[in-house]
Structure 1
Amino acid sequence: MPALDPTVRHLYVHVPFCPTICPYCDFHVLTRRAGLVERYLQRVEEEAARLADTYRVDLDTVYIGGGTPSFLREAEMEALASSVRRHLGWGQVENTLEINPGTVSPARAAFWRDLGFDRASVGVQSLDDATLRFLGRQHDARQGREAVTTLADRGFRVSGDLITAVPGQPLESDIRGLVDLGVGHVSAYTLTIEPGTEFARRGVTVEEDDERVGFEQTEAQLTELGFTRYEISNYARPGEESRHNLAYWYGRTYLGLGPGAAGHYPAEGTEQRAEGLQHPTPLTLRRTNPHLHEWLMGTEGQTLPIDGGEYVTDALFMGLRLREGVNLADLSSRSGVNVRERYAEAMTVNIRRGLLTFDGHRLRATPQGWWVLNRVVTDFLEG
């Protein structure tokens, strides 16, 4: 890649509303209350207009996540999509909607498709009813299967989410069942117990051996079934990779719209340059919006200036998640940092440990390096 593109080509929209809160979830989500969605939609309209006035935008991808975006009523979803289109445009390459299986019907699938969504990320999580009950999911296995087939029948590219390392989970049949439904993409995430969640309060734990088995079994089985592990947690048939998520892993800029949404913005031409940030000439800016009630009041989010060195370590942390790794010449061009020279020691140490490989162009994590990637990147932060 050449120098950073000053045009923002990707948009993430956060919808915080859920019918119920899953016991493992630590995202910014809440149940809907009277009038709250209407206030949310009005604020989305205002924030979308401000983003359009501030940045040069020509969207390739739109991703509406949450929360449970598919929980929105049809008029609400139409208002949300209209605000995005009116101020920021629509993705020319891919437009994804996160969908809970319990919200799917043939009519709703056709409605979402008519709004311009072409990719569905479906929170199946498991196709085993006992596992779904343990996870606190409100849908059952039958609804999960029907949701995937209904969306595929309406022309969506379908990605299915799976949670692994769940006690008693029949992972092999979960994977086989999801693939048999015809999905082109699978996102497989290890069950993680985050502080403050219901699972943490109940003392639920995940054994490292179970994590490792799920990590390795998922790759082995999906590879055998024709999928490529193109990122630590993501598998795709050829051409079915998530274009939007690849933007994150490639270190590209993107807009974050909605409460709790994070964005990665070009520094050039933004009003923050005139507000005297700590670094007078940051390479990019990262901003995280406040949670819903502060966001509704117009409270500004936290903005962090990213210099060349910080950009490199962020790009390595994200890019080493990819099977293809990171092209160090391109990263040096984008950041203005000689990556091979500055991080020679960290590279050498981790190559010797068998956690990284380098072919003269691309730095890649090995399977063992993926397993301890946080530790690998820590060496670069300290370098």
Structure 2
Amino acid sequence: MEKIGLYVHIPFCKKKCFYCDFVAYPNLENRIDSYFDNLYKEIDLYQKNISVDIDSIYIGGGTPSYVDYKYIEKLVEKLKNFKVKNLKEFTIESNPNSLTLDKLKKYRELGIDRISLGVQSFDDKVLKNVGRDHSKEIILNDIKNIRKVGFKNLSLDMILNLPGGDFNVVKKDLELIKEIKPEHISYYSLILEKGSYFYTLYKKRKLKLMDDDLERGIFLYIEKQLKDLGLFRYEISNFSKKGFESYHNKKYWSEGGYLALGLGASGFLSNIRYSNVRNFIKYENLINSGKFPIETKEFISKSEREKEYIIFKLRECEGINLKEFEEIFGYSLLNKYSKIVDKYYNLGFFNIGKSLSFTHKGFDLSNEFYLEII
């Protein structure tokens, strides 16, 4: 039986950040009880109807650490009714100011072995600019407690090109990262998502950001500094120490199967991609009528899978294993796409050997290639 990942969405947080367009709702304490009751029922529905072997769990949000520990404890107990005996990785997302030493100890007791901490920046001015509700001091204290209770797999989420986050801020952030010694770093560029406050400001020309060339230059500096710290780039925005690559997230990039539970969660099983409803009332009504709370469902054909496989695998630094591609799809990638691959190889986008992978230039300008391949 194929081993799949499991994603669980917790849509609550204390404050919605200005760049966020996720299914996340601030200060809705009055909905937490009923939401988890419905989430447990959704788990029961899947356990009665499908048989899966799960080897990674990722609890995301929102801010899962925002809710009381008792909800996570019961959630994990419910999840044990799936086949989850030999987990490779068990992650919970958290934000500074939502963790306590006691909560962290209890997470460890539940078997959670990886913390993904939403830092974004250590600079207090930048944090205020993006609507965060914590300071550098709080971040560092939380990290101290994460290490104190014994977590040996810490991932920090950082964002480049936040308002006020100039090159000097990045350099100071990297100095702190050097002291913290995390096992994993996600360093994303700011994306202006429709529905976020920053998107609205940008449309009104009230948001000042770096130009693309400056941002690319700073990202190259970040990559070199992290490499010197033993954090190697293995995906377009992700860096880790050897052996600490995100096992769960690699399923997304390699078209592996994953079951998704909770409001707005998206999954991929048996060549079907689906997304749950994003409305609390619809979610509750569907579950209480014994139906899966799915809003959209799409069968991914072989040709669509092929294009997605190319796009997602090229996100990883190791790229596409050409022999593996031929075994999966039955023909040579280089033969089928010779014209487009040759074009971008001659432009300096690709390394070609046993694998097809992007160069630095290819990563920076990958959208040009993607627009042609789809």
Partner of 1:97: 92
CA deviations 1:231-289 (Å, max 9, x no partner) are 111111111111111111122111111111111111xxxxxxxxxxxxxxxxx111111
Question: Which residue of 250, 272, 277 corresponds with 1:285?
Answer: 272
CA shift, 1:198, in A, is: 1.0
Task: Indicate how the Cα distance of structure 1 residues 338 and 55 shifts in structure 2: closer, same or farther if over 3 A, else same.
Answer: farther
Question: Which residue of 11, 19, 22 corresponds with 1:24?
Answer: 19
Q: Indicate if the aligned counterparts of 1:312 and 1:339 stay in contact, CA closer than 8 A.
A: no
Partner of 1:225: 229
Matched, 1:305 2:305: no
Matched, 1:324 2:318: yes
CA distance in 1, matches of 2:53, 2:111: 16
Task: Indicate how the Cα distance of structure 1 residues 56 and 335 shifts in structure 2: closer, same or farther if over 3 A, else same.
Answer: farther
The DSSP-based 3-state class of the residue aligned with 2:195 is coil
Higher alpha-carbon deviation: 211-220 or 80-89? 80-89
Partner of 2:192: 193
The DSSP-based 3-state class of the residue aligned with 2:9 is strand
Higher alpha-carbon deviation: 84-93 or 164-173? 84-93
Q: Indicate if the aligned counterparts of 1:48 and 1:88 stay in contact, CA closer than 8 A.
A: no
Q: Indicate if the aligned counterparts of 1:288 and 1:303 stay in contact, CA closer than 8 A.
A: yes
CA shift, 1:40, in A, is: 1.5
Q: Indicate if the aligned counterparts of 1:25 and 1:197 stay in contact, CA closer than 8 A.
A: yes
- Give the 5 Å matches for 1:61-72: 61-72=56-67
Partner of 2:290: none
Matched, 1:373 2:372: no
Q: Indicate if the aligned counterparts of 1:28 and 1:260 stay in contact, CA closer than 8 A.
A: yes
- Give the 5 Å matches for 1:87-236: 87=82, 89=84, 92-156=87-151, 157-169=153-165, 170-203=169-202, 204-207=207-210, 208-236=212-240
Letter in 1 for 2:273: R
Would you identify which runs of 4 or more consecutive aligned residues in structure 1 move more than 4 Å?
Answer: none
Question: Which residue of 327, 333, 355 corresponds with 1:362?
Answer: 355
Q: Indicate if the aligned counterparts of 1:308 and 1:336 stay in contact, CA closer than 8 A.
A: no
Q: Indicate if the aligned counterparts of 2:12 and 2:25 stay in contact, CA closer than 8 A.
A: yes
Letter in 2 for 1:122: L
Task: Indicate how the Cα distance of structure 1 residues 25 and 210 shifts in structure 2: closer, same or farther if over 3 A, else same.
Answer: farther
Letter in 1 for 2:186: S
The DSSP-based 3-state class of the residue aligned with 1:162 is strand
The count of residues paired between Structure 1 and Structure 2 equals 358
Matched, 1:340 2:327: no
Higher alpha-carbon deviation: 306-315 or 41-50? 41-50
CA deviations 1:316-374 (Å, max 9, x no partner) are 11111111111132223334554333222221211111112221x31101111111222
Partner of 1:275: none
CA deviations 1:170-192 (Å, max 9, x no partner) are 10110220231121111101122
CA distance in 1, matches of 2:30, 2:162: 37
Structure 2 residues not aligned, in runs of 5+? 287-292
Identity of aligned residues (%): 30
Matched, 1:48 2:43: yes
Higher alpha-carbon deviation: 60-69 or 371-380? 371-380
CA distance in 1, matches of 2:13, 2:83: 26
Q: Indicate if the aligned counterparts of 2:317 and 2:358 stay in contact, CA closer than 8 A.
A: yes
Q: Indicate if the aligned counterparts of 2:163 and 2:208 stay in contact, CA closer than 8 A.
A: no
- Give the 5 Å matches for 1:258-273: 258-266=262-270
User: RMSD value over aligned CA atoms?
Assistant: 1.8
CA shift, 1:378, in A, is: 2.1
Task: Indicate how the Cα distance of structure 1 residues 191 and 132 shifts in structure 2: closer, same or farther if over 3 A, else same.
Answer: same
Letter in 2 for 1:367: H
CA distance in 2, matches of 1:336, 1:288: 30
Q: Indicate if the aligned counterparts of 1:185 and 1:234 stay in contact, CA closer than 8 A.
A: yes
TM-score (norm. length: structure 1): 0.89
Higher alpha-carbon deviation: 223-232 or 193-202? 193-202
Letter in 2 for 1:63: Y
Q: Indicate if the aligned counterparts of 1:26 and 1:196 stay in contact, CA closer than 8 A.
A: yes
Task: Indicate how the Cα distance of structure 1 residues 149 and 309 shifts in structure 2: closer, same or farther if over 3 A, else same.
Answer: same
Letter in 1 for 2:371: T
The DSSP-based 3-state class of the residue aligned with 1:42 is helix
Q: Indicate if the aligned counterparts of 2:47 and 2:81 stay in contact, CA closer than 8 A.
A: no
The DSSP-based 3-state class of the residue aligned with 1:10 is strand
